[in-house]
Amino acid sequence: MLKKQDLLNLAESMNLEPEYEKFYRFVQNFTMHLSQEMQTDTERVFQCLEYCSRNLIDVKKHFGISGDNTFLLRNWFRYILGKKTELKNLSMTELNYVFACCARICKAKKS
């Protein structure tokens, strides 16, 4: 298990555009849900993200993105899935912590 400072450093190294806050929050909530169900396999998180990246038209409605603009969402999924090997080694709790930190940093950047 990594130290909290290591996890925070990992979060700070992520792409933290303010517009990505809701995407990070989505994954944070999903990992929290899986943890409550006693799921520990982080591969399930990435399977969900891969599914979502292939179904952007349906997913964009969940995030409140209107029209044909899926550019932001597509780029975020591509970025996160590109970091899969680095993030996959984390436990579900650590993954939740990293995505929560990312969401908070993005929110702070909006202000």
The model's pLDDT over 14-58, given as tens digits with 9 standing for 90+, comes to: 999 999 999 999 999 999 999 999 999 999 999 999 999 999 888
> Which candidate, 15, 4, 7, places its Cα nearest to that of 82?
15
If DSSP codes are grouped into helix, strand and coil, which group holds residue 39?
Answer: coil
Mean pLDDT of the chain: 93
CA distance to 1, 9, 15, 93, per residue, from 19 (Å)? 30, 20, 10, 24
With a cut of 80, say whether residue 81 has pLDDT above it: yes
Residue 59 structural domain: 4-110
Check pLDDT > 90 for residue 99.
yes
Percent of the chain with pLDDT strictly greater than 70:
100
- The number of distinct structural domains making up the chain is 1
Q: Nearest Cα to 37, choosing from 97, 110, 91, 92?
A: 92
- Going by pLDDT thresholds of 50, 70 and 90, the confidence category of residue 65 is confident
